[in-house]
Structure 1
Amino acid sequence: MASQIDVFHECFDQVEDPRVAGRTTHPLNSILFLVVSAVIAGADGPDEIESFGDEKLDWLSKYADFEAGIPSHDTITRVLSLIKPAEFQKALLQWHAHLCEMNWDHEIKDDDHPVHVAIDGKTVRGSYTDAEKSDAIHIVSAWATENGVALGQTEVDSKSNEITAIPELLELIDISNAIVTLDAMGCQKSIAEKIIDEGGDYVFAVKDNHPKLCAAIAEHFEMAHNEGLTTHGVRSTTTKGKQAGRDEERFYATGPIPESLRALTDQWKGAKSICQANTCTSRGDKQTSDIRYYISSRPARVGEFANSARRHWGIESMHWVLDVVFHEDSSRLRTKNATSNMSFTRRFVTTLLKRDTRKKSLRRKRKIAGWNTAFLEKLLFAA
């Protein structure tokens, strides 16, 4: 395990220690190793991280310097508030890349197998500071959805600022030969241009924030359904299944952009196709339906579009994990850096837990890691 922990420290040496030199008691890397280990093992905040450290001091001392004992929860909070989120994310991702090189298969990433990257936002509801709870921090994250790998995140003060956060996030991650999916708020011409310029592709949901484009796509698909999909070069597929006691039928269609829409779609750099996704859900006698429209820089491949749409919807399950398994919405960390650093730690730990293929829930795996240091070491070091 010696070489693995050496690499861990090499990765985290890149995180600048903002504390005053000569006036620190605990090495920065030791605190960060404690934080990551404790979150894997079930700790949801600085108080619980400190308690984990107190109980596991002998084990922790095998891998980091804890001669001064375990730092207090106040020290942990202060350090998380001071370190730069971008540097912390980079260190975690480099550590994950090292684990992949050791034991796990790489994701295939080429023109025929583009990686799907879902970008979506989530508000950390407990991070508010005012009485109206209106200033809770909003985290915009990128996920490689096939393996549930967190790629990066950035934070803003409200959901309305998500548009400005997305370009910042795109600066942090590699999207070459990737399909980036975004909901309607991210359907912006400047974001499309940035994705194309970075060598990626996009699938954007189109809603009423672009009313003319949305209406034009809807009218075209309505005409295609009436006159025959194949007549207009539209390809379609339907899937059926059950989920949480509901019967679901999903219809997907995609076709090349018709000349009649070019005046609108040419404003989105690289646009090549328009898409439609219909979801019909039945539970007993109650039925609901939802129709969504999209613009994409990918060719009109219905199977690929269906996969991209389904995987983007799946990001909601990651939000559920963060709230139910990690209790993120209950966290009362309120400084932007601390909230962001703990949030990305949770996402990173989710990736490690999902890499373990045993058929147990993520919540149960966290408990096992807290009870069994051999399992915790396996998650940390891919032993």
Structure 2
Amino acid sequence: MFLNELTDPRKRASSCEHNFNDILVIAVCAIICGADTWQDMQEFGEEKEDWFRLFLELPNGIPSHDTFYRIFCMLKPDEFQECFTRWVKSAYPEALDIPDGDAEIIPIDGKVIKGSKGKGKGKKAVLMVSAWSTRLSLVLGQKKVDKKSNEITAVPQLLEAIDLKGCMITADAISCQKSIAETCVNQEADYLFAVKGNQKTLHNDIQTAVEERWNSNPEEPVSDAFFECKNKGHGRHEYRCCWVFDDVSALSTADEWTGIKQFGVVQSDRTIDGKATTALRFYISSKTMTAEGMLNATRQHWEVENSLHWMLDVAFDEDACQTKDECAAENLSTLRRIALNILKADVTSKRSIKTKRKKAGWSNRYLSQLLKSFIVGAK
């Protein structure tokens, strides 16, 4: 399996009591089965020791929780994440097989691991940026944001580690940067970025163009440049519409944005329990789309929040994790994403991720079944 590619960080590994690979395998299995702490890993390993001995050496039994913690403090997070990305490509080759005419939507977004914040001035929580496949519901890769920087430097590094040809990268306003747009185009991918006040000139130009359009066309004709849809249910009424603009000459900084071909605005109206709210969001894109296409792409972007970040907190209690060591917290984050991919890819059970974790802990047969894709990653 791909864990064999990792370098044992211990200086004299040959004289250590426990095999490095055994520690990693137990940790992955423990996270899949509901473990959230280093103590959980030890307890899980001890309860499953007979099963682990069927395929692991375990020369001195199950490692202690201190051993698990120490190993993941020493393990290089960048190397672990690179192996994780290679495993996704190998274990799920369909992630790279995009049907002709279909653009894979890959949302990029950051998430803070709140419990990793240390005490004292200047101590910040670990922030991870992830790339999410909306088509396969899998994490494609992740990168830690340096505490002295922000997502602007981490996102290009993440994008360069993933095969993006033919994909569309969606991102919120903090990642609406010229360098990130250039990275996408150089990777033969398209981008759709939200635009806010951090790009003041661009934001103002779009707002002006939109207002001129509305003033000159109060009754929007039916065309590919405009689309609207309505939804209702559970006491909520929603109305969304989108306008797209192909003439980027209206943007004074258009020449500074690599590959830009279009900009647009999405209006979202919601009425919940009689209370109405309206929101306008501006976007730029390197791909010419219909208004319906842009609206659908902006909605798919939120999957990274709903299907990844929310799941990590609800099913894996990520924010509650109190690991303060940065390397350990980052590596534990990668373990969770490995487990989430394995559980998401399983189609034999239609239960929730949380229930699947319990089932894997109860059933060695089901856990063995889940590990099949994990083992494939070694090929």
Q: TM-score, normalised by structure 2?
A: 0.90
Deviations 1:137-180 (A, max 9, x none): 11111111221211111112559611121122122222221111
1:60 and 2:60 aligned: no
Give 2:353's aligned amino acid. Answer: L
CA contact (8 A) 2:146 2:154 kept: no
Structure 2 gap ranges (5+): none
1:24 and 2:16 aligned: yes
Q: Look up the match of 2:247.
A: 257
Q: Tell me how far apart the structure 2 counterparts of residues 328 and 159 of structure 1 sit (CA, whole Å).
A: 23
Q: Look up the match of 2:33.
A: 41
CA contact (8 A) 1:280 1:288 kept: yes
1:226 and 2:219 aligned: no
Shift of 1:289: 1.4
CA contact (8 A) 1:14 1:87 kept: no
Deviations 1:246-280 (A, max 9, x none): 3222212222134232x322211000000111111
Q: Tell me how far apart the structure 2 counterparts of residues 154 and 98 of structure 1 sit (CA, whole Å).
A: 19
Q: Tell me how far apart the structure 2 counterparts of residues 295 and 234 of structure 1 sit (CA, whole Å).
A: 17
Shift of 1:99: 3.8
After the TM superposition, which of the residue ranges 316-325 and 82-91 deviates more from structure 2?
82-91
Structure 1 gap ranges (5+): 1-7
After the TM superposition, which of the residue ranges 351-360 and 141-150 deviates more from structure 2?
351-360
**Aligned ranges for residues 1-383 of structure 1 at < 5 Å?**
8=1, 11-21=2-12, 22-100=14-92, 106=95, 108-109=97-98, 112-131=101-120, 134-158=123-147, 161-228=150-217, 235-242=225-232, 245-261=235-251, 263-317=252-306, 318-357=308-347, 358-382=349-373
Shift of 1:371: 0.6
Give 1:313's aligned amino acid. Answer: W
Q: Tell me how far apart the structure 2 counterparts of residues 234 and 130 of structure 1 sit (CA, whole Å).
A: 54
After the TM superposition, which of the residue ranges 237-246 and 342-351 deviates more from structure 2?
237-246
In structure 2, the CA distance between the partners of 1:303 and 1:154, relative to structure 1 (3 Å rule), is: same
Shift of 1:184: 0.5
Q: Tell me how far apart the structure 2 counterparts of residues 34 and 41 of structure 1 sit (CA, whole Å).
A: 10
Secondary structure in 1 matching 2:110: strand
Secondary structure in 1 matching 2:150: helix
CA contact (8 A) 2:129 2:143 kept: yes
Consecutive aligned runs of 4 or more in structure 1 exceeding 4 Å deviation: 157-160, 229-234, 242-245
Give 1:287's aligned amino acid. Answer: A
Deviations 1:188-223 (A, max 9, x none): 111111111121111111000111211211221222
In structure 2, the CA distance between the partners of 1:58 and 1:275, relative to structure 1 (3 Å rule), is: same
Report sequence identity in percent. 36
Output the aligned Cα RMSD: 2.3
After the TM superposition, which of the residue ranges 174-183 and 301-310 deviates more from structure 2?
301-310
CA contact (8 A) 1:233 1:255 kept: no
Q: Tell me how far apart the structure 1 counterparts of residues 25 and 253 of structure 2 sit (CA, whole Å).
A: 51
CA contact (8 A) 1:233 1:256 kept: no
Give 2:64's aligned amino acid. Answer: S
Secondary structure in 2 matching 1:13: helix
Q: Tell me how far apart the structure 2 counterparts of residues 312 and 133 of structure 1 sit (CA, whole Å).
A: 32
Q: Tell me how far apart the structure 1 counterparts of residues 264 and 233 of structure 2 sit (CA, whole Å).
A: 24
Shift of 1:294: 0.5
In structure 2, the CA distance between the partners of 1:31 and 1:242, relative to structure 1 (3 Å rule), is: farther
Q: Tell me how far apart the structure 2 counterparts of residues 300 and 94 of structure 1 sit (CA, whole Å).
A: 32
Give 1:55's aligned amino acid. Answer: E
Deviations 1:356-376 (A, max 9, x none): 233311111111111111111
Q: Kindly indicate whether structure 1 or structure 2 has the higher relative contact order, using CA contacts under 8 Å at least 6 residues apart.
A: 2
Deviations 1:79-128 (A, max 9, x none): 11212223223333444444436xxx555326622221111011100101
In structure 2, the CA distance between the partners of 1:232 and 1:287, relative to structure 1 (3 Å rule), is: closer
CA contact (8 A) 1:80 1:338 kept: yes
After the TM superposition, which of the residue ranges 354-363 and 186-195 deviates more from structure 2?
354-363
Q: Tell me how far apart the structure 1 counterparts of residues 84 and 187 of structure 2 sit (CA, whole Å).
A: 23
CA contact (8 A) 2:88 2:140 kept: no
Give 1:377's aligned amino acid. Answer: S
CA contact (8 A) 1:127 1:332 kept: yes
